[in-house]
Chain A
Amino acid sequence: MINLLKYDWKRNANLIMGSAAALIIFQVAISFFGVTRNWPSALPLTFMFMGYCFAALMLIIFSFKTFSHNLKSYGRRLLPVASWKTIASPLLLQFVLSAGLSGLVLLHIWLFKWLSPSASLDALVPPTLKTGVLFFILIFWMVLFLMLLLYFSITVGNLFNKKLMPWVAIAVFVLLQFVISYAEKFLFNDDLFGAVDSELSSSSMSIFMSSTGDISVGNWGVMAFEIVIGAILVNIMLYLLNKKLDA
């Protein structure tokens, strides 16, 4: 597993390191101009978050591209390793890189606070440890579930020829999102993504953070439902990898 992770990293190391350098230069430049030109504190914060959101999106794209590459790579498919590791390796790499990105965000926030003591960053800090942990679990699961949906769609797409593959993958992804969202609404009158969206749109991060602090029973039910769906998707992917999918 660690070996697979190592080679996934080595294949993409230049791209990742280059992107990380570009992100850091962008953030340093934004912070520098924010401080030296006395921008209102909300402006560099907005740019900062846009930069990090873009980086997180890039990590998701990078992760499913790595998975997709591994599905078709002769070098990978010939290896005597269990199929679940083909799924787990790019996921693990994504979470390791996400942890690195989160560390960079925290370091940036700390530096920002140090350089601009007057700036209010309360909205970014969870009010309690429990809220922070729950928020982390929620985000972790949302990303993991999203990745499983993407991986599943790519796996099904790869059952078809090159021309059809992207369209089938997109269709499967959209259909799954729709069916799961509908089922969650029907069963729990709620969904995990819906809850977050409404809280985010309701104004500030602080409201969102405090409300996830006492996450409702319905949301835990949604999460349990999604865990079951995730397990089913993984099992179908393993079946397809072992029995149906050509390299």
Chain B
Amino acid sequence: MKKIVELQAVTKNYGSRKALHNINLNLEAGKIIGLLGSNGSGKSTLMKLAAGLIQPTSGTIRICGEPIGIGTKAVTSFMPDQPVTESWMRVKDALRFFSDFYKDFDQEKAGSMLDFLKLDRNDRISSLSKGMNERLQLTLAMSRQAKLYLLDEPIGGVDPVARGKILDAIVKFYNEDSCVLISTHLITDIERIFDEVLFIQNGEVSLRQDVESIRSKHGKSVDELFREVFSE
């Protein structure tokens, strides 16, 4: 399978604090991967590095074989933990912004997602609730025909009904030539869509496994395994 993400000996320090330590990781196309870990374990840092928002202290990162730069940003779609839109925008301005800068932005797909997630194009972004804003950020991220989707806590601030809707949207609008990496704390809600999970602990990958083999080998759900690993 085609490698989408390659991390070699990646370390990221914030001052004296080590956020990630010597990470080696390859992610392939055709998978939805859960990135799981406790607060401060390095999940968001890993995503920001892959998206090119922050720079590694050492090591190399490649997306589709290219070092981080304009080329990788063009094929990476990131939904970070804060909005990528601006407060003056309406929903339709945000769609225009994305279509102005991303060649792979699919207006039709965005329109379907807006309808699916019950968002109005004329709504002001500043007036959207946290949950509605997350739906919009997800719409923007998933409406691109990207090779790599990075979703940082896509259901963190939404009610259980909306969670289901968002997860259905991810599965429905996911392109199988790409790789989706999702970080979350809400494992029970989301584990049904994962093909694989990565556990990250103190800035290091502590476990990587297929969800099916977790269920068959360990006889546990991902949530149960997570609680076991992280309770130590």
A: residues with CB less than 8 A from B are 3, 6-7, 10-11, 13-14, 73-75, 77-82, 161, 242-247
Complex Cα distance, B78 from A146, in Å, reads: 35
B186 sits at the interface (CB 8 A)? no
CB-CB under 8 A for A80 and B71, given A243-B55, A247-B54: yes
In contact, B73 and A78 (Cβ under 8 angstroms)? yes
Q: Which of B82, B83, B101 is A79 in contact with, Cβ under 8 Å?
A: B101
Question: B54: which A residues are within 8 A, CB to CB?
Answer: 246-247
Q: Give the number of chain B interface residues (Cβ < 8 Å).
A: 25
Bound: A243/B55 CA distance, A = 6
Cβ A80 vs Cβ B73 within 8 A? yes
A80 and B82 within 8 A (CB):
no
Give the interface SS of chain A, mostly helix, strand, loop or mixed: helix
Q: How far is the CB of A101 from chain B (nearest CB, A)?
A: 23
Q: Looking at the complex, which one of B53, B71, B83, B102 makes contact with A247 (CB distance below 8 Å)?
A: B53
List 19 contacting pairs A-B, 8 Å CB cutoff, sorted by A. Answer: A3-B100, A10-B93, A14-B88, A74-B83, A74-B84, A75-B83, A75-B85, A78-B73, A80-B70, A80-B71, A80-B74, A80-B102, A82-B70, A161-B15, A246-B53, A246-B54, A246-B55, A247-B53, A247-B54
The answer to whether B101 touches A3, judged by C-beta atoms less than 8 angstroms apart, is yes
Do the beta carbons of A81 and B70 come within 8 Å of each other? yes
Q: When chains A and B are docked, how far (Å) is the Cα of A3 from the Cα of B48?
A: 24
B97 CB within 8 Å of chain A: yes
Given known A11-B86, A74-B80, A75-B86, contact A81–B101 (CB-CB < 8 A): yes
Query: How long is the Cα–Cα vector from A246 to B48 in the complex, in angstroms?
Result: 9
Q: How far does the alpha carbon of A57 sit from the alpha carbon of B228 in the complex, in Å?
A: 60
Q: List residues 76-121 of chain B with CB under 8 A from any CB of chain A.
A: 78, 80, 82-86, 88, 93, 97, 100-102
Residues on the A chain within 8 Å of B84, using CB: 74-75, 78
Query: A3 CA to B101 CA in the complex, in Å?
Result: 8
B85 contacts which chain A residues (CB < 8 A)?
75
10 nearest A-B pairs in the assembled complex, by CB-CB distance = A80-B74, A246-B54, A80-B73, A75-B84, A247-B53, A80-B70, A3-B100, A79-B101, A74-B84, A74-B80
In the assembled complex, which residues on chain B have CB atoms less than 8 Å from the CB atom of A82?
A: 70
In the complex, besides A74-B83, A77-B53, A247-B53, 18 extra interface pairs with C-beta distance below 8 angstroms are A7-B86, A7-B100, A10-B93, A11-B88, A14-B88, A73-B86, A74-B53, A74-B82, A75-B86, A75-B97, A77-B52, A78-B51, A78-B52, A78-B73, A80-B74, A161-B15, A245-B55, A246-B48
Contacts of A80 in B (CB 8 A): 70-71, 73-74, 101-102
